Amino acid sequence: MSHKRVTLADVARTAGVSSTTASLVLSGRGSELRISPAVQERVRGASAELGYRPNIVSVGLRKGTTRTLGLVSDTVATGQMAGDMIKGAIEAARDHGYMLFIGETEGDPAIESALIDAMLDRRVDGIMLTSMFTRTRAVPAALERLPTVLLNTLPAGPTRAPAVVPDEVAAGRAAAQLLLDAGHRDIHLVGAGPGADDVPPDTVAGHERLTGIHEVLHAAGLEPASGHLCDDWVPPQGWAATHDLLEQHPRPRAVICFNDRLAFGTYQALQEAGLRIPDDVSVVSFDNYPMADWLRPGVSSFAIPHEALGRRAVELLLAEIAGGPGGPDVHRLPVPLRARGSVAPA
Amino acid sequence: MSHKRVTLADVARTAGVSSTTASLVLSGRGSELRISPAVQERVRGASAELGYRPNIVSVGLRKGTTRTLGLVSDTVATGQMAGDMIKGAIEAARDHGYMLFIGETEGDPAIESALIDAMLDRRVDGIMLTSMFTRTRAVPAALERLPTVLLNTLPAGPTRAPAVVPDEVAAGRAAAQLLLDAGHRDIHLVGAGPGADDVPPDTVAGHERLTGIHEVLHAAGLEPASGHLCDDWVPPQGWAATHDLLEQHPRPRAVICFNDRLAFGTYQALQEAGLRIPDDVSVVSFDNYPMADWLRPGVSSFAIPHEALGRRAVELLLAEIAGGPGGPDVHRLPVPLRARGSVAPA
DNA sequence: CGGCCTTGCTAAATCGTGTTAGCAAGCTCA
DNA sequence: TGAGCTTGCTAACACGATTTAGCAAGGCCG
């Protein structure tokens, strides 16, 4: 608290002009309003010399804009996904001179509402509504008049807000195609399937990945060789599902796991059964967690572009703030394959 | 933009009083300054009826306090650790009516400096300097006059800022003691050791855990049976280190892995060598990643209290903001054991 | 010579709140 | 009865920027 921050009035005094003049010069409207080049130079010099930085709080009061965005998430503690998505958002925001408030609702509507209020109290210029697993949700009424973007989330009802999500259907198609191209015909599913409705509740990813897989298999005149629904996609369930699979089909040749944690369980079960990857069984998976690299051999996995999702959401939000159209478009980002050693020809 | 937000002046007008009176009543100084109960009631009624919420930007300009904190991290994308620590900080902040700016430096001093400036521009009330792996760092001069707390980080030089870190020495002691209590005498180390200086550079956790392990072993008249330094604590290195270990000692009985990712690699190598956990080998580890639960059997691991660290940092910061002492104390939080099935009697 | 335009700058209002100083009315009391 | 006190409230300024309106000086022109 000792040193006071240098204020616009200080700059003006040093340059020997009024603070109006200083403000005009520093906001670039100097020439437009006929401030002489000599004075402009003096103001800029004083500003640089004193190390002047405008007080954004004051600007916020005057202009109603705070160069601040809010990110409302259901949880930020879901490992890599959360981290990368937030990282992308933070970086994109910083690139444009914005800062990010981050809040967490734990799925509680009361907390969410309080959080949104807290952000509105601080006059954020826009808000991103995020979920750490892709899902569908309604947009709170309070946000219909503030620039808003849905991140990793699809709107439940009609809304002005655009959405940014990974293109999971395409990823599902690519996963099935990858195995078909390797010559496999009997493709087992761990995590969801075999029917189109055999997916964990409330998860968009499961539904869309399965849709893509079905599309490609049907086009080739095939059905999944088997499907094993898991309601929580963690290694123990992947292990159990693969265990079931092996009882019905002792020598599977190709498995699609619905994410890398399931794949971890699948690896454990296959290895305990004495089956080698990829020589005996080919495995392909989704998410591209760090774990995909740590399994032996690494599992080929489709990488959700978390960082790009966060980045794109910020860019859409800034466009909306700048007065862009901001239609309720759904932006689907590609989910590229990270090939490792888990797929071999049939 | 359509509906204007309701302002203090609106409340005052509705209640038929001056905005001074409304301000006094709503800030609780009404009785102190002899506003009659009847008027106080009217003001509060009007405020509730209109749904008045003070404009924090304006308050910030007037009082210089924004009810906002900054969290400056080297990276937020390091999985669970980052997420939980940030989650703890966010929740503690919210509990006290504060919001959190989160920024990421990627270890670049220029970005860090720009980030701190951006937060100062927005008049944060205090800043937390965080690292996602425990390390030592200097406090930028710009922060010596703003309330500051180091989170998961120790100060390199003299500073006013207190620090919050996990008590890694105690965790190291407890790990060694756990194996000694189970009757083990030959204890192998994967990730660091055997000598006190055999630690990855710049990591406080490695150094302190090793110190604790040494303390307990020495007190029992023992030395580590072997030590295997890994410069990056990831599964492939854990696998390689354990591979080395098995060449020197084909039948190890007890292993301390310096984190769960190393333990993952150790599991892989032990299982490939046909050794069973815990019947043949006991394994204990640190960090308590989700992965610790996913290994079969789960690995007993010392849990870094990430959420508590974040929470405590916010509490210290708020105490400092409230004018507390804010001495340069180092707060060490306990690192409790999460026992699973990876340790058996010798 | 008086009205009008241009040039180059500034005074003052504004955003929404907190805070200091003080005012009007009624009461007390010598 | 009038000085002084209490009660209950408000006017006005401050925070630090932006923005609107406008002023003074000089030149031009009929």
Residue A3 pLDDT: 56
Which residue minimizes Cα–C1' distance to C19?
B20
Mind listing the pLDDT tens digit for each residue in A70-95?
999 988 767 667 788 999 999 999 99
A60 touches chain B (CB under 8 A): yes
pLDDT band for A326, please (50, 70, 90 cuts): low
Nearest in space to A74 (alpha carbons), one of A108, A117, A106: A106
pLDDT at A2 over 70: no
Mind listing the pLDDT tens digit for each residue in B3-48?
578 999 999 999 999 999 999 999 988 888 889 999 999 999 999 9
CATH class of A8-54: mainly alpha
Q: Give the strand order in the sheet containing B226-229.
A: B226-229, B188-191, B254-257, B282-287, B300-303, B337-338
Q: Which residues contact A119 (CB under 8 A, 6 or more apart)?
A: A70, A72, A101, A103, A127, B99
Nearest in space to B101 (alpha carbons), one of A309, A66, A248: A66
Give Cα separations from A136 to A141, A149, A152, A205, B320 (angstroms). Answer: 16, 13, 9, 11, 42
Contact B127, B146 (CB under 8 A): yes
Q: What nucleotide is nearest A18 when CA is compared to C1'? A: C10
Q: What nucleotide is nearest B59 when CA is compared to C1'? A: C17
Right CATH number for A64-165+306-332 from 3.10.20.30, 2.160.10.10, 3.40.50.300, 3.40.50.2300? 3.40.50.2300
Per the rule left: phi > 0, alpha: psi between -120 and 50, beta: everything else, B2 is: alpha
Q: What is the mean pLDDT of residues A175-196?
A: 96
Mind listing the pLDDT tens digit for each residue in B156-208?
988 889 999 999 999 999 999 999 999 999 999 999 989 999 999 888 999 99
Which residue minimizes Cα–C1' distance to D12?
B20
pLDDT at A187 over 70: yes
CATH (residue range B168-304): 3.40.50.2300
Whole-number average pLDDT of chain A = 93
Query: If you count them, how many residues does chain B have?
Result: 346
**Distance, CA of B102 to CA of B253 (rounded, Å):** 45
Contact flag A100-B99 (C-beta cutoff 8 Å): no
**Distance, CA of A196 to CA of B139 (rounded, Å):** 56
Q: What is the mean pLDDT of residues A225-249?
A: 96
- Domain range list for chain A: 8-54, 64-165+306-332, 168-304
Tokens of A270: 């296959």
Beta pairing class for A300-303 and A282-287:
parallel
Mind listing the pLDDT tens digit for each residue in A188-211?
999 997 999 999 988 899 999 999
pLDDT band for B55, please (50, 70, 90 cuts): very high
Mind listing the pLDDT tens digit for each residue in B261-274?
999 999 999 999 99
Of A61, A83, A117, nearest to B61 by CB-CB distance is A61
Residue A82 pLDDT: 77
Phi and psi torsions of A148, nearest 5°: -145, 145
Give Cα separations from B257 to B147, B183, B187 (angstroms). Answer: 38, 18, 10
**Distance, CA of A58 to CA of B49 (rounded, Å):** 29
Contact flag B86-A66 (C-beta cutoff 8 Å): no
Residue A324 pLDDT: 72
Residue B2 pLDDT: 38
**Distance, CA of B104 to CA of A85 (rounded, Å):** 13
In percent, the amount of chain A with pLDDT more than 90 equals 82
Cβ neighbours of B101 in A, within 8 Å: 68, 99-101
**Distance, CA of B143 to CA of A16 (rounded, Å):** 31
B294 touches chain A (CB under 8 A): yes
**Distance, CA of A266 to CA of A256 (rounded, Å):** 10
Contact B130, B81 (CB under 8 A): no
* Dihedral over Cα of B247, B248, B252, B254: its sign: negative
pLDDT at B1 over 70: no
pLDDT band for A1, please (50, 70, 90 cuts): very low
CATH class of B63-164+306-332: alpha beta
Per-residue 3-state assignment (H helix, E strand, C coil) for B186-212: CCEEEECCCCCCCCCCCCHHHHHHHHH
Gap from B32 CA to D5 C1', Å: 18
Contact flag A80-B84 (C-beta cutoff 8 Å): no
Contact B228, B251 (CB under 8 A): no
Mutation target to probe the A interface, by most A beta carbons within 10 A, among B65, B66, B87 is: B87
pLDDT at A345 over 70: yes
Give Cα separations from A291 to B146, B279, B302 (angstroms). Answer: 40, 26, 21
Nearest in space to A281 (alpha carbons), one of A186, A212, A217, A213: A186
Fold identical between B8-54 and B168-304? no
Contact flag B55-A86 (C-beta cutoff 8 Å): no
**Distance, CA of B157 to CA of B144 (rounded, Å):** 12
The single-letter DSSP state of residue A141 is: G
Residue A228 DSSP SS3: strand
- Concatenated DSSP letters of B29-66: -TTTTT--HHHHHHHHHHHHHHT----HHHHHHHHS--
Tokens of B117: 């400036």
Mind listing the pLDDT tens digit for each residue in B87-116?
999 999 999 999 999 999 998 999 999 999
Cβ neighbours of B121 in A, within 8 Å: 53-56
Contact flag B265-A294 (C-beta cutoff 8 Å): yes
Contact A219, A230 (CB under 8 A): no
CA A250 remoteness from chain centre: 39
Give Cα separations from A79 to A82, A330, B9, B77, B289 (angstroms). Answer: 6, 25, 46, 8, 10
Of A2, A90, A235, nearest to B76 by CB-CB distance is A90
Contact A265, A242 (CB under 8 A): yes
In percent, the amount of chain A with pLDDT more than 70 equals 97
CB-side neighbour CA atoms (13 Å) of A63: 12
Contact flag A66-B265 (C-beta cutoff 8 Å): no
Of A residues 4-23, those with CB within 7 angstroms of nucleic strand D are 4-5, 7-9, 19-20, 23
pLDDT at A111 over 80: yes
pLDDT band for B326, please (50, 70, 90 cuts): low
Whole-number average pLDDT of chain B = 93
* Dihedral over Cα of A38, A44, A46, A48: its sign: negative
